[in-house]
Structure 1
Amino acid sequence: MPKSPYEFTAGNTPDAPRSDLPGLLAALAADLRRIDYTLDGVARLLGPTASAALNRDQVIPAMLATAQAVQRTAAAAPLAAVVRLWLLAEPQERETLDAALPGIGVEGLLELGLVQPVPGTPRITAKADLRPYGWDANPDGSGGAELWVASDLAAHQQAGVLRHDHVLGIGQASTTLVQTTVRQHTERALDLGTGCGIQAFHLLHHCQHVTATDISERALAYARFNILLNAEALSVDPDRLEDRVSLRLGSLLEPVAGEEFSLVVSNPPFVITPRSAGEDAAGQFTYRDGGLPGDEIVASLVADLPGVLAPGGVAQLLGNWEVPAGASWDERPRSWVRAGTDAWFIQREQVSPEQYAETWLQDASESRDRAHYRDAYAAYLADFGSRNVAGIGFGMVWLRRPAAAGQETISRFEEITYPIEQPIGPHLGAAVERSDWLAAHDLAGTHLLVADDVTEERHQRPGAEHPGVILLRQGAGLRRTNLMSTELAGFVSACDGDLAAGQIAAALEALLGGEAGSFQRSLLADVANLVRDGFLIPAAFPAEQ
């Protein structure tokens, strides 16, 4: 494949870890592995309460836990020192780090750009965050990984407002997209707005080649460092990185114009930010702010992503959208989807303009300067007010380019704000497969079964002959609840695989005296919805993995 003019190959970017020193990267990985600097190793060192506090960005319990661990056994000292250095951003003595990481030593860490001296002292402090990351193996033992991820120090690890070209680490949005993505083997995948590379790590486990783009040179430098630090776990040959990964520097879809991918994932800079006259990119937080007014960054991606999808290709992303006063939440997102595109939006949360402003001002530590906080907060409210915005939605977006022109498209817009099973990706994939199955098969001739996780709930007034409310509930996946009519409840109770759906519908029509023809059509339409949502499963349909 010819090299793109957007190709990013720099291994020595200012203010980012160096990835052009393979010997030091290998030594660092060996040292971290030796002291068990892993998710499980750190959890054992800290204990459950300090680990939970650290997940809330509270470092004091972890400081106490590391001190207690070293008092109990000197063998805990190397791991405790590394945890304090990178997770707690607590300066360490040079000799302590040399003893903890003898293969690379402090001099090697300095050369990589991961640490820096504390002026006037013999101590060393973190210049970047470096933490364990990974995921469990599949039931067959395949697919698991233990990695390390470098990023800029977070707000709780440093003083002042974050730098505007801040490279975000492992956050809630990135893990949400990881859990949402439907994992299938593909030849070519695109990670649009890769940041420090979280999505690319997962894609490399089930995709032959990954193109990762970002508008930030520092972000791509971090992603390159992380991929090469974890080369063995990601099945990447450090000497032939381009065989599996292409890093591209550029905005949105510019670096991949004219190319097609079977899978695109994106955690884009979707945060809605007030625009001001004369601003430039240097004044924007590039990890979250796409530089466009309102929700235009997400709108443009929803409209344009199908253009880089191969036939049958899928794009999954996260996003915010504005909800104007008096409008339904899905009014704007519906308008973004181009004709001939499959689309499924799930709104997971909706907040007020005030809540939104507070969240993102706190995110970048902008609340530390009272005058700046007041002015920035007012700017958010004025910006939303100028467009009559009453709420801001957050959710998951699934898009697909149909495999053939003219196919009937999927169009689903729903709000699910309660807790759902994680990872949800396998269940979303199975739901799409069921929709495709329904489009290709005659439901009336299908034998159906009740899914294993489904239960029925009946409510009735004391002394009543019949229940007033019948609910069908899912225990897995999206955990939906369906309000049932008497005839639909009767249909579900007969779904043991013996009779075809049309036979059950005909029997209920005769039993309940429904209008000939229309009764069955209406009932089977409701049954199709139960199949689409996974309450009922065709007897020959493959189970979710």
Structure 2
Amino acid sequence: MSTFAVPGAPDLSDDVCARLREAFQRTGYDADGVVAVLGGAAHAALGRGEPELAHRASLDAGELGTLIRLFLLGSAEPAAEVKAAFAPLSTEDAVAAGVLRGGDSSGDSFRAALDIRPHGDDDGSWWVVADLDSDALGHAVPEDHVLGVGHASLSLIRATSRRPVGSLLDLGTGNGVQALHATRHAQRVTATDLSGRALALASATFRLNELDVELAHGEWFAPVARRRFDQIVCNPPFVVGPARVDYTYRDSGLAGDDASALVVRQLPGFLTEGGVGQLLASWLHVGGEDWGDRVARWLPAETDAWFVQRDVADPGLYVGTWLRDAGIDPRSPEGRAKSAAWLDWFAANDVRGIGFGFVTLRRASGVTPTVVCEDLRQAYDDPLGAEAGRWLDRVDWLRHNGDSLPDVRFRVPPTVLLESVDEPGEEGWRTTIRRLHRTDGPGWQHEVDDLAARLLAGCQGALPLEDLIELLAAAQGLDADELTATALPVVRELVRHGMLVPVAE
């Protein structure tokens, strides 16, 4: 297994990891064990930053309760109870490895010195090693802070395709959580980071879970120069603003959205033919410029791209959010000074908002690439990763069949509904809006007119599109060629969104 040691970083040797893993397994300190002890309500409250219910639930859970209070609640626990929970790893060795620290001046208690917590998926559970957050530290985090599993990490996990691949690169691995999930579907996983401390903790994460992940140290793609991968995932330091590095986990040292632009420009060059890259990204909304045009300019040639905008933040809210994320009170002198510099930069660059979302890229040599930028701000439950894979499949299908759409028999999936909005009029209710709504995946919605609704009603897999258009044109007294020219762009969009499905011959 790969190891990575950095002076000053916690040193979790193979032996320490083995004994710590044995303690966790013995006590049931895993994702299912924690939920079983806390129960749904207390576990949800803990996720909201409300620890009291979890504390009460843990009191009758023995050694597992000790570990929950120690690592998940940040409590100081009696030395005797910590010693029992950590066996066969001694508390002396745990302190020496940087896992524990003294809880008070008496020396009769311990606190966690690292954030080590269970993280699971449908197939099992891991442990993720990261630094303590600002609440546990009692002050702002240091520059080389290694973030735990936050909302951004979880959203990228859900947005990543899990189709089997031979090789996968986790660019900017941080605590290693993306690479953990990658080991489920990739034969070989490589993890890189500019931060030596991040690689040291990621190494501990992988060894604690007995996973063989290649580690490489360096900036951006430099550690993997001249290599190519079947899949690349990246949660880059995407915070936008002045060119500075306050915290390596979020700041790139590049101004504005240049970090996201750099990854989008360079990533396709490290993919195998047909390889897929998926990342989180931020982009500026600048006065007089469409955000889609901005991000499309980042793309290299021969790259399919799907930019999905999940949110647009107001600059003022954005600054306050990231100050609090680092444990800085926006009302403090430090917070006021940082806010002023940040907002001045936004104003000087005419920044009206900050977009955030997911990017899916595919190396597509020798063909005309498909580039789509769209808003997806509605709530949805299904993971976007599976949809991203199917989106690429549908792009391929349209690429090979786009000129013969009239000959194809289509059907509307049962998960697609036609909704209408009616308003009262002089002669009763009058339909003002007709909307197609796909109830699975990301919940796509498309407004359609009466003609489109009638055409789609006939898409039951029996007749080719050309025949349906001719029948509709005859019934409505319209020219079939003109109706075809109007219908085909709508059909292409609905196929791309999985709202019309071709029927196999």
TM-score, normalised with respect to structure 2: 0.95
Displacement of 1:10 in angstroms is 4.7
Displacement of 1:525 in angstroms is 2.5
Question: After superposition, what is the alpha-carbon deviation per residue over 1:498-531, rounded to whole angstroms, capped at 9, x for unaligned?
Answer: 1111211121122112223121232133122111
Give the counterpart letter for 1:88 in structure 2.
L
Q: What is the DSSP-based 3-state SS (H/G/I as helix, E as strand, rest coil) of the residue aligned with 2:358?
A: strand
Of the three residues 15, 20, 29, the one matched with 1:28 is: 20
Q: What is the DSSP-based 3-state SS (H/G/I as helix, E as strand, rest coil) of the residue aligned with 1:379?
A: helix
Displacement of 1:29 in angstroms is 1.4
* CA distance in 1 between partners of 2:480 and 2:291 (Å): 39
Q: Does 1:451 align with 2:413?
A: yes
TM-score, normalised with respect to structure 1: 0.88
Equivalent residues in 2 for 1:532-543 (5 A)? Answer: 532-540=496-504
CA RMSD of aligned residues (A): 1.9
Of the three residues 481, 506, 528, the one matched with 2:470 is: 506
For the 8 Å contact 1:9–1:247, the answer to whether it is kept is: yes
Give the counterpart letter for 2:333 in structure 1.
A
Give the counterpart letter for 1:286 in structure 2.
T
Question: After superposition, what is the alpha-carbon deviation per residue over 1:41-92, rounded to whole angstroms, capped at 9, x for unaligned?
Answer: 212222333222211223233223323xx2xxxxx12111101111111111
Give the counterpart letter for 1:91 in structure 2.
A
Structure 2 unmatched ranges of 5 or more: none
* CA distance in 2 between partners of 1:45 and 1:503 (Å): 62
Displacement of 1:269 in angstroms is 0.5
Question: After superposition, what is the alpha-carbon deviation per residue over 1:388-446, rounded to whole angstroms, capped at 9, x for unaligned?
Answer: 111111111111110x32x1211101111111233111112112211211111222222
* CA distance in 1 between partners of 2:179 and 2:270 (Å): 18
Q: Does 1:45 align with 2:37?
A: yes
Q: Does 1:133 align with 2:119?
A: yes
For the 8 Å contact 1:116–1:127, the answer to whether it is kept is: yes
**Number of the residue aligned with 2:171:** 192
Q: What is the DSSP-based 3-state SS (H/G/I as helix, E as strand, rest coil) of the residue aligned with 2:142?
A: coil
For the 8 Å contact 1:57–1:156, the answer to whether it is kept is: no
* CA distance in 1 between partners of 2:157 and 2:5 (Å): 29
Displacement of 1:349 in angstroms is 0.7
**Number of the residue aligned with 1:271:** 239
For the 8 Å contact 1:160–1:368, the answer to whether it is kept is: no
For the 8 Å contact 2:235–2:279, the answer to whether it is kept is: yes
Q: Does 1:530 align with 2:494?
A: yes
List 4+ stretches of structure 1 deviating above 3 A.
8-12, 14-17, 459-468
Q: Does 1:312 align with 2:274?
A: yes
Displacement of 1:120 in angstroms is 3.4
* CA distance in 1 between partners of 2:302 and 2:187 (Å): 28
Q: What is the DSSP-based 3-state SS (H/G/I as helix, E as strand, rest coil) of the residue aligned with 2:143?
A: coil
Structure 1 unmatched ranges of 5 or more: 1-7, 71-75, 137-143, 277-282
Q: What is the DSSP-based 3-state SS (H/G/I as helix, E as strand, rest coil) of the residue aligned with 1:366?
A: coil
Of the three residues 204, 209, 227, the one matched with 1:259 is: 227
Q: What is the DSSP-based 3-state SS (H/G/I as helix, E as strand, rest coil) of the residue aligned with 2:329?
A: helix
**Number of the residue aligned with 1:18:** 11
Q: Does 1:177 align with 2:159?
A: no
For the 8 Å contact 2:469–2:480, the answer to whether it is kept is: no
**Number of the residue aligned with 1:476:** 440
Equivalent residues in 2 for 1:323-472 (5 A)? Answer: 323-367=285-329, 370-402=332-364, 404-405=365-366, 407-441=367-401, 442-462=404-424, 463-464=427-428, 467-472=431-436
For the 8 Å contact 1:11–1:19, the answer to whether it is kept is: no
Of the three residues 89, 93, 98, the one matched with 1:104 is: 89
Q: Does 1:124 align with 2:92?
A: no
Of the three residues 87, 90, 105, the one matched with 2:75 is: 90
Q: Which moved more, 1:418-427 or 1:407-416?
A: 418-427
For the 8 Å contact 2:382–2:440, the answer to whether it is kept is: no
Q: What is the DSSP-based 3-state SS (H/G/I as helix, E as strand, rest coil) of the residue aligned with 1:319?
A: strand
Displacement of 1:465 in angstroms is 8.3
**Number of the residue aligned with 1:140:** none
Q: What is the DSSP-based 3-state SS (H/G/I as helix, E as strand, rest coil) of the residue aligned with 2:291?
A: coil
**Number of the residue aligned with 2:261:** 299
Query: What fraction of aligned residue pairs are identical, expressed as a percent?
Result: 35
Give the counterpart letter for 1:508 in structure 2.
L
* CA distance in 1 between partners of 2:494 and 2:428 (Å): 28
Give the counterpart letter for 1:92 in structure 2.
E
Equivalent residues in 2 for 1:141-156 (5 A)? Answer: 144-156=123-135
* CA distance in 1 between partners of 2:430 and 2:458 (Å): 19
Question: After superposition, what is the alpha-carbon deviation per residue over 1:323-357, rounded to whole angstroms, capped at 9, x for unaligned?
Answer: 11233222321221123221111111111111111
For the 8 Å contact 1:318–1:397, the answer to whether it is kept is: yes
Displacement of 1:224 in angstroms is 0.8
Per the alignment, do residues 366 and 468 of structure 1 end up closer, same or farther by CA in structure 2, a change over 3 Å counting? closer
* CA distance in 1 between partners of 2:330 and 2:264 (Å): 35
Question: After superposition, what is the alpha-carbon deviation per residue over 1:194-252, rounded to whole angstroms, capped at 9, x for unaligned?
Answer: 00101101111111111111000010011111111111xxxx3xxxx4xxx22111000
Per the alignment, do residues 333 and 368 of structure 1 end up closer, same or farther by CA in structure 2, a change over 3 Å counting? closer
* CA distance in 2 between partners of 1:483 and 1:275 (Å): 42
* CA distance in 2 between partners of 1:493 and 1:320 (Å): 40
